[in-house]
Amino acid sequence: MKNRILSLLKQTMDELVQEGFVPGYELNTINITTPPNKDFGDFASNIAMTMAARAKKPPRDIANAVKVKMEALGDIIDRIDIAGPGFINFYIKPVVWTSVLNEIHDQKELYGTSSLGAGKKVQVEFVSANPTGPLHIGHGRGAAVGDTLVRILAAAGFDVEAEYYINDVGNQMNNLGLSVLSRYRELFGEKITFPDQGYKGEYIKDLATALSKIHGEDLLRQNQSKAVEICREFASRSILEEIKSDLDTFNVSFDRFFSESTLYENNEVDIMLEYMKDQGLSYEDDGALWFRTSRFGDEKDRVLRKNDGTLTYFAPDIAYHKDKLARGFTQIIDIWGADHHGYVPRMKAAIEALGADKDCFNALLIQLVSLVRQGKPVQMSTRSGEFITLKEIIDEVGKDVARYFFLMRRCDSQLVFDLDLAKKKSDENPVYYIQYAHARICSILANASEQGMYADMETADFELLATGEDLELIKVIATYPDVVAGCAADLEPHRIAFYLLDLATAFHRFYNKNRVLSDDGRMTKARLVLISAVKQVLANALALMGIEAPQSM
RNA sequence: GCGCCUGUAGCUCAGUUGGAUAGAGCAACGGACUUCUAAUCCGUAGGUCAGAGGUUCGAAUCCUCUCAGGCGUGCCA
């Protein structure tokens, strides 16, 4: 609907330009918004005010010219008002709104999709936790945000791929191996000194126990490095399996798990280093190899290879992003914890150094999650091994609630996860509030079908719906495609969560004031179509968030 | 010290990229079930948009400074 008004307005402005009434303008200066107040119409434009200075005419004069031309133009506009300093307020004919019911009926689960991203290949990389321990609650937020963003981008017509980068090379992997081996020796009664940087969680002991069942005492007789390797391989494989299974129960899926080790196997790191050298972008100093990131806006140069000969984390990461670029993505989105924000300038520098436009790379930073139980913060620390895992959260509050809670804040806002609220099955919990709306509709439709009545597009009289709460409800479902497109364009998945709340509110309000099944047969038929459409949109939006739409509660 | 994020009702947060009288939910108070699911709805009250300047027709939104909280500032990952 918004787009229809927009194109009418563009047409009008073009005519005014041709007539010499106003000077030429840039396309993106035309902006349609929904006014803060229903009294100001369905849509509004500030074009008269933004043009006033350049046209050297009072805004209200320009607004009036637009009004006269546009009122003659379309059959969807009821009337146009000019308000305040020069706002143009558009009032849509009520019956026109009801056409969205036909759209929803025709498109079903495709309602809300668009071609915004047609022809664009996007990759979203998220979670990417090291296989050194189970996913914790912070990973959960990244997983929920990333997975939902992927679904939104797909709905907006992007060719999108979800990827998980496995850091299975390097020091922390050895650490893992050492940690497990220590616990293993402990099992056989050896006195051990646990490594300083070791992983202290209980799961390490479980892994050691599992190893002892497979190998018996054999590893005690192996030489140290061989034993560590066996422990490392076994542990990382087991943990990765567990991570995958957790993601699966969280309804999060990936198109590809990309292993860091393949970068070495395919020599991609060396090729990248060679490229940097050839381009004059790297140099040796102090026995280390440096990358001139400062040339691309970073505050100082960064080390690629340390003076002990080993590579920094940054080096394979550049090679990894080179690989991504080579795969032909027009846009690369990395979802990171906000504590990695200092890493953004150097990654952007790398992207630019690799010959790509730095704007094709986006880092979405996810702020911290803290847990609250009975009003008190729950202490967490990865190092000491005291952390709440994603699995524990899912077991406690359920997958749907967890996903919604992770998405009910803007990404760059810290999130307080209230476990007591999450478990409450009442109106305070937004998830139940939304799902309840869907279940209520299902219940009405079930009652209707018992009486042999169904939503029937042919016989329903939409004019009956062009008033009151019926019309308000229709307007909310009509904005859904704009919401999805907006989320995709601005990479802000949380807006879906807020939209769902608005839609559920509009439905509950409607429900309390009106009956669907009544003695009035014509109204009953019309409203069956209406609530079927609402049900469809609720289901579509919930699906974008990966949340169930229950038939009954 | 420097950089990034945040600061909006008692609490938790939105705010359509600079628009009109700043909005929800919870908590508080008062109402609505012979009615398709009361896990619901309606009403009342609640504000120096952290503070001070600036930019302009117009600022919660943009710029500068100050204050407060979080994070970063490794040849860690």
**CATH number of the domain within which A434 lies:** 1.10.730.10
> Which amino acid is present at A486?
G
Q: Are residues A435 and A538 in the same domain?
A: yes
pLDDT at A343: 92
Protein residue with the closest CA to the C1' atom of nucleotide B33: A512
Host domain of residue A31:
2-92
> What is the Rg, in whole angstroms, of the alpha carbon atoms belonging to chain A?
29
A229-257, pLDDT tens digit by residue?
A: 999 999 999 999 999 999 999 999 999 99
Q: Which residue is nearest to nucleotide B41 (CA to C1')?
A: A512
Report the 10 Å Cβ neighbour count for A114.
Answer: 16
**Model pLDDT, residue A200:** 85
For residue range A128-154, what is the model confidence (pLDDT) as tens digits?
A: 999 999 998 889 999 999 999 999 999
Residue A88 and residue A193 in one domain = no
Write the CATH number for A61. 3.30.1360.70
pLDDT of residue A412: 83
Domain end, chosen from A202, A225, A242, is at A242
Rounded-to-integer distance, Cα A441 and Cα A453, Å: 14
| Helix (H) or strand (E) run with residue A46 in it | none
Q: Within a domain: residue A120?
A: no
User: Does A451 contact strand B, using a CB cutoff of 7 Å?
Assistant: no
Instruction: Examine residue A551 and state whether it is found in any structural domain, yes or no.
Output: no
Residue A431 shares a structural domain with residue A539: yes
Residue A416 CB closer than 7 angstroms to strand B? Answer: yes
* Structure-token pair, residue A287: 């026995």
Q: Which residue is nearest to nucleotide B73 (CA to C1')?
A: A342
Mean pLDDT of A86-101: 92
Q: Is the CB of A450 under 7 A from strand B?
A: no
Q: The tokens of A447 are what?
A: 């009652």
A 469-488 residues, CB < 7 A, strand B? 486
Question: Does a structural domain hold residue A101?
Answer: no
Q: How confident is the model at residue A385 (pLDDT cuts 50, 70, 90)?
A: low
End-of-domain residue from the set A242, A265, A288: A242
Is the same domain home to A433 and A536?
yes
Residue A516 lies in a domain: yes
Q: What share of chain A in percent tops pLDDT 90?
A: 67
Say if residue A74's pLDDT is above 80: no
CA angle A141, A241, A229 (to 5 degrees): 115
List, for residues A361-382, the tens digit of each pLDDT value: 999 999 888 888 877 777 765 5
CB A473 within 8 A of CB A507: yes
Q: With respect to residue A508, please indicate whether it lies within any of the assigned structural domains.
A: yes
Q: Has residue A281 got a pLDDT over 60?
A: yes
Instruction: Give me the number of domains chain A comprises.
Output: 3
Per the model's pLDDT, the better-predicted residue between A29 and A483 turns out to be: A483
- The answer to whether the beta carbons of residues A148 and A545 sit under 8 Å apart is yes
Note the CA–C1' distance, A351 to B9, in angstroms: 45
Calculate the angstrom distance between C1' of B66 and CA of A11: 49
Average pLDDT over residues A95-120: 94
Q: What is the pLDDT of residues A528-547, one digit of tens each?
A: 999 999 999 999 999 999 99
Q: Which of residues A55, A70, A92 is at a domain's end?
A: A92
Nucleotides of B under 7 A from a protein CB: 2-7, 12-17, 19-27, 32, 35-42, 57-58, 70-77
pLDDT of A57 reads 84
Residue A383's pLDDT band (cuts 50, 70, 90): low
| Residue A422: pLDDT band with limits 50, 70, 90 | confident
φ, ψ for residue A442, nearest 5 deg: -60, -40
Q: What local confidence, expressed as pLDDT, does residue A379 receive?
A: 72
Same-domain pairing of A434 and A538: yes
Predicted ipTM of the assembly: 0.94
Distance, angstroms, CA A33 to C1' B17? 12
Which residue type, as a one-letter code, is found at position A553? M
Q: Determine whether the distance from the CB of A36 to the nearest atom of strand B is below 7 Å.
A: yes
| pLDDT tens-place string over residues A2-59 | 888 888 898 888 888 888 888 877 666 788 888 888 888 899 999 988 888 778 888 8
pLDDT at A496 over 80: yes
Report if residue A140 sits inside a domain.
no
Task: Flag whether A189 is in a domain.
Answer: yes
Task: Report if CB A514 to strand B is under 7 Å.
Answer: yes
* pLDDT for res A310: 92
What value does the mean pLDDT of chain A take? 91
Asked whether A111 and A479 are in contact (CB, 8 A), the reply is no
Q: Please give the average per-residue pLDDT across A69-92, as a whole number.
A: 88
Tell me, yes or no, whether A176 lies in a domain.
yes
